[in-house]
Amino acid sequence: MHELSIAHSLVTTATDALDAERASGSDPLGRVKAVHLRLGRLAGVVRDALEFCYDLVTEDTLLAGSQLVIHDIDVVVFCNACQAERTLPGIQRFRCPECDKPTGDIRHGRELELEYIELE
């Protein structure tokens, strides 16, 4: 259960980005409406647990009352035999879904990235 520490890091990362934006002299920032996270299926983070923590860790921060929007990212590998990127149906079998050759060349699916913040 490391989702609580991931959620803390989400708050810190978002707060830093908001502070930097404010310091850059941009227009006054509105309330944070939503935080968008790209979450790879191989990130090792349980979606439900992260959502469960979110309200708790955002309390009394700039993100209080905002919504966490998680975009799941499938695992995409490069198949050397096909010379193509392939999306895997799960994370239990690292084989090309077309030709069945094993491949560990992961191109997507490890993301744990704060993508953007939606402001009102």
Partner 1 sequence: MHPRILEVRRNLLKKNDELARDLRGRFLSDGLFVVNLVSGPGTGKTALLRRTLGELLNRGYRPIALVGDLATDNDARRLAESGAPVRQITTDGVCHLEADMVARHLAEWSPGPADFLFIENVGNLVCPASYDLGESLRVVLLSVTDGEDKPLKYPKLFNTADVAIVTKADLAEACEFDRAAAEANIHDVRPGMQIFSTSAKTGVGFDAWLAFLIDQRTACGLPVRDERPFVSQP
Which residues of the chain form contacts with partner 1 (CB under 8 A)?
1-2, 5-6, 9-10, 13-14, 17-18, 21, 27-30, 33, 42-45, 91-95, 102-104, 106, 111-120
Of 95 and 108, CB closest to partner 1: 95
Of 27 and 48, CB closest to partner 1: 27
Q: How far is the CB of 118 from partner 1 (least distance, A)?
A: 6
- Give the residue ranges of DSSP H helices in 1-120: 3-23, 47-58
Q: How far is the CB of 77 from partner 1 (least distance, A)?
A: 9
Of 1 and 60, CB closest to partner 1: 1
Contact 10, 45 (CB under 8 A): no
The Cα 63–Cα 59 span in angstroms is 7
Q: Please state, in angstroms and as integers, the Cα–Cα distance from residue 113 to each residue in 35, 73, 92, following that order.
A: 11, 11, 23
